[in-house]
């Protein structure tokens, strides 16, 4: 769009005589160029000054003053339909005066913003985070693509999920509808909606501010929910956070919340009160934050919290996925049962593979642990099928009792109750031919998706999944 066309559309808007089609063109120009937004706001302020300082019209014996428009910033020129809102139609003389002044001012603005009288390029975004994952995402302010750099500014997610991976290692997932503003590498503002965050040691001190509460991470995972009425919840999944009323940084207003704790800001009472620990509202976003992008079939990612750990949670109908450890730097080679993509019928005990030291990994535990214990010859053993997809490549599977026991200290959940009994996936036996389709594990070619068909009875079916974090 040329400068002249942009100026024409802006003048029509400011004089409140813009047509619907022209308004759409103006909105498109503002959405696609930060320079146009700045010029639009400058011209809007100038128009307000013109009207404020005595542009009046003598109509017979009466005097009409053009109403002054406020000079707030606009990112789009949204105006109600002209027939639905009465307004004073400006005369041609006033429109002419305004247009003449705007032409002069605009020429100066365009020249000042373009010293070489050429179209300037939009300044590159200073990347603070990356849009790492989306699911059914719909955007309110602009379309975003997977892998897009995220700099300072507002993000309006109308529907779906969107995960931001910050340069400092912090991971934040939004559940739409939500509005988030990235303020810096260590600070965001959640205006509305639901957010879950996982903060490693490299990003301790990461802050989420809301209209009512500020949340400062101390090395943890947590969720924040801001309602349209201002009610705000903070729920701590792991570790500790500090919360305080917004704008109040005194020591007396700061509360320390530990794992399994939750608080709520009540907008009527204007106080922060403790509430029961519930994670239901975060169960869509938390798996994505923790690296599980999708779980289908009868696979369930376990909600975060102190009561949901391996060995303390049984389920007859589903394979449960527990997050165990993150950012584990391998100081020595790690022995595992499988490393190559393919289909595995049970797991052979005489096979062993090595993950070389020097990489950083995280671990998850897939578990089918029926309630109670069944006898060896029971005919009602539960059979569960499904698949789970991770955000990074799987570098090894551990499914034999001996290796599971040997890696509990390094890769197991810090509060897991790992029984030293029969666990894992049993080796094949001659009579298994009649059930050849059971206890099958399939690792996809891209190493990110694991499909399972498990049947458990007297033993606990468990598979430890080792995912590469970074090299």
**Residue ranges of domains in the chain:** 3-113, 129-282, 291-470
- State the DSSP H helix or E strand holding residue 38, giving kind and residue range, or none if neither: helix 34-52
Half-sphere exposure of 183 (CA within 13 A, CB side): 11
**334 has pLDDT over 60:** yes
Q: What pLDDT is recorded for position 118? A: 40
Res. 379 pLDDT band, cuts 50 70 90? low
ω before 432 within 30° of 0 (cis)?
Answer: no
Is the model's pTM score more than 0.85?
no
**Half-sphere exposure (CA, 13 Å, Cβ side) for 348?**
7
The predicted structure's pLDDT at residue 249: 67
Residue 337 scores a pLDDT above 90? yes
Q: How far apart are CA 443 and CA 451, in angstroms?
A: 7
The listed CATH number (3.40.50.510, 3.40.50.300, 3.40.250.10, 2.60.120.1440) that belongs to domain 129-282: 2.60.120.1440
Q: What is the mean pLDDT of residues 123-138?
A: 90
Given this model, what pLDDT does residue 342 score?
A: 94
Per-residue pLDDT, 165 = 97
With beta carbons less than 8 A apart as the criterion, state whether 261 and 349 touch: no
pLDDT at 430: 55
Please compute Rg for the chain using Cα positions.
30
pLDDT for 15 beyond 90 = no
Look at residue 250 in the predicted model and tell me its pLDDT: 65
pLDDT at 102: 54
Confidence of residue 383 (pLDDT cuts 50, 70, 90): confident
End-to-end CA distance of the chain: 47
| DSSP per-residue codes, 311-336 | TS---SS-EEEEE---SEE-SS-EEE
Q: What is the predicted pLDDT for the residue at 64?
A: 33
Query: Which of these ranges, 27-31, 204-208, 319-323, 375-379, has the smallest mean pLDDT?
Result: 375-379
Q: Which of 210, 244, 238 is nearest to 224 (CA)?
A: 210
- Does the pLDDT of residue 433 top 80, yes or no? no
Q: Are 343 and 404 in contact (CB under 8 A)?
A: no
User: What is the reported pLDDT for 58?
Assistant: 39
Strands (E), 4-128: 56-59, 62-65
Contact yes or no for 157/134 (Cβ under 8 A): no
Q: What percent of the chain has pLDDT over 70?
A: 75
Phi first, then psi, for residue 97 (nearest 5°) are -60, -50
Q: What is the pLDDT of residues 391-422, one digit of tens each?
A: 999 999 999 988 999 999 999 998 888 877 67
What pLDDT, on the 0 to 100 scale, is given for residue 70?
A: 36
User: Which residues, listed in sequence order, are joined to residue 58 by a DSSP beta bridge?
Assistant: 63
Quick check: 245 and 157 in contact, CB under 8 A?
A: no
User: In whole angstroms, what is the distance from residue 310 CA to residue 312 CA?
Assistant: 6
Cα–Cα dist 39/55, whole Å: 22
- DSSP H helical ranges for 299-396: none
Q: Position of tokens 């990994």?
A: 361
Contact call for residues 213 and 232 (beta carbons, < 8 A): yes
Q: Which DSSP helix (H) or strand (E) runs through 406?
A: helix 401-411
- The overall average pLDDT reported for the chain is 80
Report CA dihedral (133, 135, 141, 147) to the nearest 10 degrees.
20
């Amino acid at each position: 769009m040329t400068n002249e066309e942009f100026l024409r559309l802006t003048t029509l808007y400011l004089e409140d005589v813009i047509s619907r089609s022209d308004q759409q063109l103006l909105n498109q120009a503002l959405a696609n160029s930060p320079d146009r937004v700045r010029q639009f706001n400058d011209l809007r302020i100038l128009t307000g000054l013109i009207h404020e300082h005595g542009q009046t019209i003598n109509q017979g014996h009466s005097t009409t003053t053009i109403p002054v428009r406020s000079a707030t910033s606009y990112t789009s020129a949204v105006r109600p339909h002209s027939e639905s809102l009465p307004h004073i139609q400006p005369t041609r003389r006033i429109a002419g005066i305004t247009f003449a002044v705007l032409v002069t001012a605009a020429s100066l603005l365009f020249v000042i913003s373009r010293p070489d009288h050429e179209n300037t390029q939009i300044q590159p975004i200073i990347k603070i985070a990356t849009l790492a994952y989306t699911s059914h995402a719909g955007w309110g302010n602009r379309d975003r693509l997977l892998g897009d750099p995220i700099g300072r500014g507002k993000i309006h997610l109308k529907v779906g999920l969107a995960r931001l991976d910050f340069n400092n290692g912090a991971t934040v997932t939004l559940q739409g509808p939500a509005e988030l503003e990235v303020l810096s590498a260590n600070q965001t503002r959640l205006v509305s909606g639901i957010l879950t965050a996982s903060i490693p040691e490299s990003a301790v001190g990461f802050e989420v501010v809301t209209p009512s509460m500020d949340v400062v991470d101390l090395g943890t995972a947590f969720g924040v929910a801001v309602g349209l009425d201002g009610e705000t919840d903070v729920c701590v999944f792991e570790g500790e956070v500090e919360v305080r009323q917004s704008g109040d940084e005194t020591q007396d207003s700061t509360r320390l919340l530990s794992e399994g704790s939750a608080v709520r800001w009540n907008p009527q009472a204007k106080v922060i009160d403790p509430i029961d620990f519930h994670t239901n509202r975060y169960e869509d976003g938390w798996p994505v934050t923790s690296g599980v992008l999708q779980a289908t079939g009868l696979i369930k990612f376990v909600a975060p919290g102190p009561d949901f750990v391996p060995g303390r949670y049984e389920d007859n109908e589903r394979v449960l996925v527990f997050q165990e450890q993150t950012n584990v730097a391998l100081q020595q080679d790690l022995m595992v049962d499988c490393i190559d993509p393919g289909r595995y019928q049970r797991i052979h005990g005489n096979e062993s593979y090595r993950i070389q030291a020097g990489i950083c990994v995280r671990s998850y535990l897939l578990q089918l642990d029926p309630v109670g214990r069944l006898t060896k010859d029971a005919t009602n053993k539960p059979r569960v099928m499904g698949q789970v997809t991770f955000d990074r490549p799987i570098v090894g599977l551990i499914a034999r009792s001996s290796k599971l026991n040997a890696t509990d200290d390094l890769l197991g959940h810090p509060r897991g109750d790992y029984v030293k009994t029969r666990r894992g996936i049993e080796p094949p036996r001659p009579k298994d031919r009649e059930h050849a389709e059971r206890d099958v594990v399939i690792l996809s070619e891209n190493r990110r998706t694991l499909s399972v068909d498990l049947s458990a009875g007297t033993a606990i079916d468990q598979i430890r999944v080792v995912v590469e974090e970074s090299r």
